[in-house]
Every structure is written in C-alpha cells, then in structure tokens.
C-alpha cells in the first residue's frame, strides 16, 4: 500500500541492502482488494501488509521479514534468489 508505513519500512530495508524490490501497490491496482484477500488467506487470515516474497518464496509480513533479517536468514534468501546486494 502506497501510504502504509510498514510497506515503506520494508522498501527502505531492501533498498538499503542494495536490492531493488518489485513492489505492487495494491491501492493503485484495480484487483488490489482481491489480491489482498488472497494474501490474507495465504497467511491464515492475517491481513498484515506488506507481504514479502523473495525469489517466489513467501517470507511473510513485516514481522517475519524483520525476524529473518535480524536472525541472518534474509541475506542468504536474497543471494539464493540471485538478487544483487550492496551491503555496507
């Protein structure tokens, strides 16, 4: 969502790592509500946005992305997906 602070934080995280994420702004997409409902169903009913996929694999909403980042699992996922990293 273009006005979602959590979505903005995740975008900043990836951009700060040198990754240029593909972002779907559901509030700008005519199918956005349907996509959000499908993602909520995929997550077991949780409507937490953003929902992050890396290399086609579901990472999850913000809390799971941050847990993967803090736990050291996010960088290997990005590398496995062939995403270029510019870590400092």
Q: Which two tokens stand for residue 41?
A: 């169903």
Domains, in order of start, for the chain:
5-80 (3.40.30.10)
Measured on CA atoms in the order 68, 73, 78, 84, is the torsion positive or negative?
positive
Residue 65 CB burial class (10 angstroms; 0-12, 13-18, ≥19):
buried
> Looking at residue 2, what is its pLDDT?
67
Prediction pTM value? 0.82
Residue carrying structure tokens 């779907």: 24
| Per-residue pLDDT tens over the stretch 20-41 | 888 889 989 999 899 989 988 8
- Closest listed residue to residue 22, CA positions, set 47, 49, 56, 46: 56
């Amino acid at each position: 969502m273009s006005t979602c602070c959590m979505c903005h934080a995740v975008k900043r995280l990836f951009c700060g790592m040198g990754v240029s994420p593909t972002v779907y702004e559901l509030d700008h997409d005519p199918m956005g509500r349907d996509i959000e409902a499908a993602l909520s169903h995929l997550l077991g009913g949780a409507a937490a946005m953003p929902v992050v996929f890396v290399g086609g694999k579901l990472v999850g909403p913000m809390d799971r992305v941050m847990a993967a980042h803090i736990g050291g699992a996010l960088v290997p996922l990005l590398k496995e997906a062939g995403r270029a990293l510019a870590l400092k």
